[in-house]
Amino acid sequence: MFSSSYNCSKIYVVIFTTIYVIIAICFYWEVFTITTRKRLQVTLSNENYAKIEETANRYGITINSFMAFILGQWVDNNYAMEKEMAKKVDKMFEDPFELLSNPALLEMVKEILKNDEEFKVAASHKLNEQN
């Protein structure tokens, strides 16, 4: 009698422990995969896909891993460069009157704005609003 009740309680412990472990694994899997990764869909031409596939195979990694590496490197490099450029531009434009007093810079700004259609439209709307 003692051995059968003992075996029955051992079975319950094993079952409950297994269920607990499965729930814990599912919980942690859900938490870590949702918060640390995002999906991105990219459309490529057949020629570019073939090139990427060939390169990924040469390195022995999947196409998804290769693309994640390429995109990550590009973002890291360009994000840092963009922040540095923004700091330089902010420093340049601390005193806009000083900038406008420089004829070379003034001509450069005029040339850039002359070719910017979006700026022309926005400027004409602003002028129409004032009149």
Most confident of 12-16, 18-22, 41-45: 41-45
Does the pLDDT at position 1 exceed 50?
no
Model confidence pLDDT, tens digit, residues 59-101: 899 998 899 889 888 888 888 777 777 777 677 666 666 666 7
Q: Give the residue-averaged pLDDT of 23-49.
A: 74
pLDDT (0 to 100) of residue 27: 64
- Read off the amino acid at residue 125: H
Residue-range domain boundaries for the chain = 1-37, 41-90, 95-131
pLDDT (0 to 100) of residue 105: 75
